[in-house]
Amino acid sequence: MAARVIRLNPEADQILTSVSDSYNGDASAALSDLLIAHESIEAFLEEIESANAAKLIRQRDSAERDFARGHSIPWEQIKRENGL
């Protein structure tokens, strides 16, 4: 097992402290599991992106064509329509 000194900003420290509560206060175990989960999530996202690459490319190309033709929706309208 490797030992490291890690500096966390206040927000990350608060999150780690909160997650550590689920590990009986063991920040090392919490951080280890978070890193492993992160790797799994990254692999899952890459798999989804790869499986849908053709569709994503078509959507991007369509959006770029629409934008080039002057078909766009102002950001404020998008936010309003989506309750943001």
Q: Does the structure show a pLDDT above 90 at 1? A: no
- When divided into structural domains, the chain yields a total of 2
DSSP string, 14-77: HHHHHHHGGGTT-HHHHHHHHHHHHHHHHHHHHHHHHHTHHHHHHHHHHHHHHHHTT----HHH
Which long-range CB contacts under 8 A does 39-42 form with residues at least 24 apart? none
Whether the model pTM is above 0.75: no
Residues 13-71: tens digit of each pLDDT: 999 999 999 999 999 999 999 999 999 999 999 999 999 999 999 999 999 999 999 99
Tell me how far CA of residue 66 lies from CA of 9, 59, 69, 74, 82, in angstroms: 42, 11, 5, 13, 21
Confidence band, pLDDT 50/70/90 cuts, at residue 2: confident
* 63 domain residue, yes or no: yes
Q: Are residues 61 and 36 in the same domain?
A: no
Q: Are residues 46 and 33 in the same domain?
A: yes
